[in-house]
Structure 1
Amino acid sequence: MPPKRPAEVLVLDSDNEEPTLGPSRPRSSTGAPYGGVNGSSGAASVAPGLDEDAQFEQDIALAMELSLRQTAQAGLLGAAEGVSADLQAAGSSHTFGVGGESRAEMERARLERQRVREMSNPTPPAASTSQGGGSAARPTPRKRFATMADVLQDGSARDRTPRTSSSHGSTQSKTHMRFWDGAVKRVPNDYVPDAEALSFADLIGPASSLQKSVVSAYCLDPFWVASHFEENAPLLLVMPRAQGDTLPTMAPCPVKDNTLRIIPPTNQDLDRAGVMHIKFMIHVHTDFLRIAIPTANAIAYDWSTIDNALYVHDFPLLTKDKVDPSPLKNPSNTQYSRRFIEVCRELGIPKGFMADFRHYDFARSNDVRLVETVQGRWPRADYDKGGGLAALARAVTSFNFAPGGRWEIEATGSSIGRYKNNWLAQMLGAANGIHPASYFRAGAGNQIPALIPRTPAGEKTRLPIRIIFPTEDEILGGRDGAGGGGTLFCPSGTWNENTFPRHLFHRGESKRHKVPAHTKLILGLHKYSSADPPAHEGFMYIGSHNFTPAAWGRLENAAGGPQLKLANWELGVLLPIRASSAEELEKKASDLVTYRRPLVPYAPDERPWQQELHLSQ
């Protein structure tokens, strides 16, 4: 076991800690993720020139808000109203709400509907004793931690006081588990207990060595998150601006001591921005650093009721006595760690929270690739800074897969986008490692990679893409009925478009029987026609990206030249899959993904789950 690093005692330098922005990429000060829905009490307004990806994200946000209103009319929002009242009281004249507020309140309402059903049904779902999914009692306050003001400044003195308590809501064995080579895990589920699942509390690790934490999510319940930490543990929340939150971009969060929240910047270059959809956790311990990237939001529902997964990686202390002050100059940095630090800086996370990265050894993440989307419009020369399609292509190329053959992809997520043939070809090109800068430019025939088959006008695409999404009968027949589909979106208007590729859809059956999935995965498999292929290989993406243009970007020809337009903030990892035979490759792929394989195409009379047809009634 590596030696323990003593805890830092840091000193505040408030003049330098408000996030600053480069002159070439101005951001708004509001950070509102989707305009009218979070910023007003009425329906979302559509700005002139609103692009279809941002409009699609806004439509989904509005659907969430409408669902919330209907639930409120049914008198089922007591819990959510109580939380809002508590937050308002804690924030004095300001409302310090929940990021993605309509989503969080809708999900609390769903839990309330579930509670009402369970009152009339004497058989509740089975629950695991180590889930840690609900709110837990806050432990007795301690005074051993540095203050939040201390943490914000990069200092050198450290807290040497030992701690003996464990993270509450988690078992001793799981808080002391380490994932030095990284691991894909499932979150707990009340309906289908899983001994291998990791709860939110499990991921925090032992409280005896915890120094500070960062939690980022599109939908984040500050009270629920804070309930997992000791009163004085430094905690930073990264979240979209909630309705009524008029505090500065970085401000104290009144859910417990030593807690701040950061609102990531919104890019003003976009006609209308999408959402801050990034989900991750950083837990800094005296003897190791943990980074977790879940598909779950930071709310109880996502960690107990619907199916979610995560990638977790632990890093030991460096053995070097002297370290460079800059975490980017850590000699053990890999693409994964370096790009993670850069993305955190883009999000506006204070330097004091990232300075610890200089002390840890990231060498064992060399076979993992971080794949990000940084919101904005990016010219051709800067595609790699923005990420999205470019980040995926670069990550695939870096694995040095064998040449030839063709790539087939399977994609699942919680939202379905407005798919056009060109975008599907560009996405498949990225999955083949074809960088968009290598082909996209003005002029006919330059919209998709030359190696990707072209779809004649008016014909269905024949690309090897399978889209996985639950059917209506899967949700209605699930353990939570229609309520279980409240965070899954395939608008009927999108599905019914004449050119929509309905033939690519496959049933989205989770391995957890009758539990709807909120996971976001892409599985790529390298296939050859020969009986003796040069390799058996593939990859899996896991993270926040849905299979949509808003998440991965759209290539456009603008007045200033080609550009990659990225509506959202997103984050995930790409993992290689290597095998010695075709059978082993299939087995490894099936073991990694959260859905059932082989896939089953939709029958002619089947349609996807469309929540507005059920939850609006």
Structure 2
Amino acid sequence: MSSSDDEDLQRAIAMSLGQLDCTPEDKAMPPAAIASRNRGGAPPIISSAEVTANSPNPPSNRSINEGLRRLDRRQLEAERLARQKARKHQAGPSASASSAQNDERPSKRTRTGPSVASSQAREVVDLTSPPRPSKATALSAGPHAPREKDSSIPTPPTSQSQGQAIRQILQDSLGISISNHSASASTTPSSVRITEPQYLDGAIKRTWAFGCPRDNDIKIEEVLQNHDLKSLILSTFDFDHEWFGTKVKLDMTRQLWIVGAANDDQRYEWSLAPAVYSNVELCVLDMKNGHNHGKFLIGSHPKYLRVAITTANLKGHDWGESGKMENTVFIIDLPRLPEGKKTSEDEATAFCQNLRFYLKSLNVGLSARDALLRFDWSRTRNLGFVCSLQGASIGDDGQRIGLPGLSQAIKELNLKSNRLALDYATSSLGALSRGFMKQFLTAAKGEELEATKEKYDADIKLGDLLKQFRVYFPTVDTVRASKGGEEAGGTIFLRKRWYDAPSFPKASMHDHKSTRNGILSHNKLIICRGQIGPEDEDNAGATEGKKVAWAYVGSHNFTQAAWGTLSRDKNTKTLKVNCRNNECGVIIPIFRGGASEQVGQEDKNAEEDGLPGYEVFARKMEIPFEIPGERYGNKKPWFTDG
């Protein structure tokens, strides 16, 4: 690889090793501004100094692991003062005198002056090269490193010493043991087992579940392929990073964690992670009014890039280790291009372009996004990437987000239909209405969307809607009868007052039962079967209808928070979409064919209706839940609030 390529890739993830403080200028800037100011558009360096003194103290979000949440900050400060005192004794009288004024510096919450660490150079990491053995060497070679250092000035604590202190506190106070991965010897290139791409055309896998026979399933270790995993960008909502730290080789794999924080306390707690885990950079998003709910893993290997889009959070329960819960993963491997070659912007598929747009919106830097172009994306041409972003969007960006983004992807993939049967399996439900369901069906058909206000719900004939739409959510009986019982239903969400509202389409509800007995599902899957008649074909000479089938796998639950609400922008008079969450998923075409094409012996009834049957999905995936499923009837759903 050329030196220029190395320089580009080195800017991909700006590591925060050895620097937990930020400059006063950074403190005054919002995270997005810090991100844009960082070299190459890199994500913001997470700093404990970003925590303000007057922050509120609401309950911490469950996405932050208990180990970091329960750290005693006073104990951390005592540990810092003890290290400072030891350094003064080592440095001698002159150092003690020169640093005496720092003995009473404010705590991390109230610090307003520049810290010693903020003058240190940020280490820049190559996405594809093996990690450099010494942090000190990398820091001293940085572009902003001091030319000379007075030996009388005490050396600030390193990331390694801070990590050791935090690990000791976790062990002493909480009984949590975290191994010091950075202390182990780096894996030499000769000892690395090089893995080969396995899923060049993409695959849909259900997650492994302990105690169940293995059949077209996948474990987190098999997704990561950590033998030669050189870099990893991940996003998740609920993150057990202690568990995840056992799944990757922390001394070998550079990581960027994209997580959300609802308040300053959570930002501070996340800022401790780089000191505990080596080679980890954090991009913490401000999610005060929603959630960073998107779930993906993008891993760089010597021979390929692996993109995994999943319904699972990064914790053992979601990946089947408890034997009580299941999820689904879409996975595709993209071969590395020859040295010096890149995918041009013109050659990039819509999937590639929309994924890079999503990463940019999550504050992932330009160099990291451009590094993805060193791989061959041509086999994603028949896939659609759909996303949602917190906040309001209009114009071209608005057409890529939420419901408009879904409609656009269906049109681009030539999956439009005027008749559609839709099955939506979800692990959370919002305050559904017939108006929102009508909008969703319109988007899923690939039709143009309009802002439909709730007052028009009564105009939509419920019978016509129910013929096309089935919603799958577990009943209280299904949760109680599962292997994990009610305790396992903690991540399955529906409020009773929403379901009891007159506008809730109860007749659309079907029990969500896994085909693996006793396993609860955390899936977010859409199964669509459609038809377009000859009168609606662009080709006026068409004599028969076209059938289509497609599936969605991703993080979007069936909620308006995930897919967005539609309105008209007052200034531009164009469609505006407003989402509360960050979400992402993939559209996988399953079938395209004419009316006379055979689609399976068991599809006779569907054939009579002019739609392809469920059998067509067996070509590319196993539907992991009972379909068409049992109607609720007099049964009740599982309620989060009883």
**Corresponding position: 1:602 with 2:632:** yes
Q: Which amino acid aligns with 1:289?
A: L
- Change beyond 3 A, Cα 1:420–1:312: same
Show the counterpart of 2:371: 356
Residue 219 of structure 2 corresponds to 199
Q: How does 1:248-267 map to 2 (within 5 A)?
A: 253-266=274-287
Q: For 1:573-606, what per-residue CA distance to the aligned partner results, in whole angstroms no more than 9, with x for missing partners? A: 0011116434374213365422112322112x20
User: Which protein shows a greater Rg?
Assistant: 2
Alignment deviations for residues 487-514 of structure 1 (CA, whole Å, 9 cap, x no partner) = 1011111111122110000110111111
Equivalent residue for 1:497, pick from 483, 494, 501: 501
Distance (Å, rounded) in 1 between the aligned partners of 2:378 and 2:584: 21
Letter in 1 for 2:362: L
Name the structure 1 match of 2:564: 553
Q: State the identity as a percent.
A: 21
| 1:402 shift after superposition | 6.4
Name the CA shift for 1:236/1:400 in 2 (closer, same or farther; >3 Å).
same
> Contact conserved, 2:386 with 2:586, CA < 8 A, in 1?
yes
Instruction: Report if the CA contact (8 A) 2:416-2:447 is conserved.
Output: no
Change (3 A) 1:92 1:599: farther
Among residues 235, 241, 244, which one is paired with 1:225 in the alignment? 244
| Alpha-carbon spacing, 1:422–1:85, altered in 2? closer, same or farther (3 Å) | closer
Aligned residue pairs, count:
485
Within-5 A mapping of 1:107-256: 144-146=130-132, 162-165=189-192, 176=196, 178-207=198-227, 209-232=228-251, 233-241=253-261, 244-247=265-268, 253-256=274-277
- For 1:342 and 1:292, the matched residues in 2 are separated by 17
- Distance in 1, matches of 2:483 and 2:354, equals 40
Q: Contact (CA 8 Å) 2:197, 2:335: kept in 1 or not? A: no
Q: What code does the residue aligned with 2:639 have?
A: Q
Measure, in 2, the Cα distance between the counterparts of 1:91 and 1:348: 30
Relative distance call for 1:582 and 1:287 in structure 2 (3 A) is closer
Q: What's the offset of the Cα at 1:41?
A: 4.7
Q: Does 1:401 align with 2:418?
A: no
CA deviation vs aligned residue, 1:186-236 (integer Å, no higher than 9, x gap)? 1111132424322111111152x3221112101112222222222322111
Deviation at 1:528, TM superposition (A): 6.9
Contact 2:234 2:257 in 1 (8 A): yes
Identify the residue that residue 389 of structure 1 maps to in structure 2. 403
Q: 1:511 — aligned with what?
A: 515
Q: Deviations over 1:37-86 (max 9, x none)?
A: xx855579xxxxxxxxxxxxxxxx7xx79xx9xxxxxxxxxxx7556446
> Structure 1 pair 459/357, CA: closer, same or farther in 2 (3 Å)?
closer
Offset, 1:290:
0.5
Q: How many Å separate the matches in 1 of 2:369 and 2:133?
A: 16
Q: Kindly indicate whether residue 439 of structure 2 is the aligned counterpart of residue 426 of structure 1.
A: yes
Q: Assess if the C-alpha contact under 8 Å between 1:472 and 1:608 holds in 2.
A: yes
- Residue of structure 2 in register with 1:55 after alignment: none
When the two chains are superposed, the root-mean-square deviation of aligned CA atoms in Å is: 4.2
Deviation at 1:525, TM superposition (A): 0.7
Q: CA deviation at 1:245?
A: 3.4
Equivalent position to 1:570, from 556, 579, 583: 583
Q: Which amino acid aligns with 2:492?
A: L
Unaligned runs of 5+ in 2: 16-25, 27-31, 48-54, 80-128, 144-185, 535-542, 604-612
2:147 corresponds in structure 1 to none
Matching residue of 1:290:
306
* 1:593 alignment partner in structure 2: 623
Letter in 2 for 1:536: K
Query: What do residues 377-417 of structure 1 show as CA deviations (whole Å, max 9, x unaligned)?
Result: 123554214x10011001111122365x4011110111111
Aligned residue among 589, 595, 598 for 1:581: 598
Structure 1 residue 249: Cα displacement: 9.2
Asked if structure 2 preserves the Cα contact closer than 8 Å seen for 1:318 and 1:359, the reply is yes
Mapped contact 1:222–1:255 kept (Cα < 8 A): no
Task: Confirm or deny that 1:377 pairs with 2:363.
Answer: no
2:175 matched to which residue of 1?
A: none
Q: Tell me, what secondary structure is at the counterpart of 1:498? A: coil
- Structure with greater helix percent: 2
Of 500, 524, 528, the match for 2:528: 524
Q: Residues 451-490 of structure 1: matches in 2 within 5 Å?
A: 454-455=459-460, 461-462=465-466, 464-490=468-494
Letter in 1 for 2:352: S
One-letter identity of the residue aligned with 1:388 = G
Q: Aligned partners of 2:77 and 2:214: how far apart in 1?
A: 42
- Among 322, 327, 336, the residue aligned to 2:340: 322
Tell me which moved more, 239-248 or 252-261: 239-248
Given that 2:424 and 2:471 are in contact with CA atoms closer than 8 Å, whether structure 1 keeps it comes out as yes
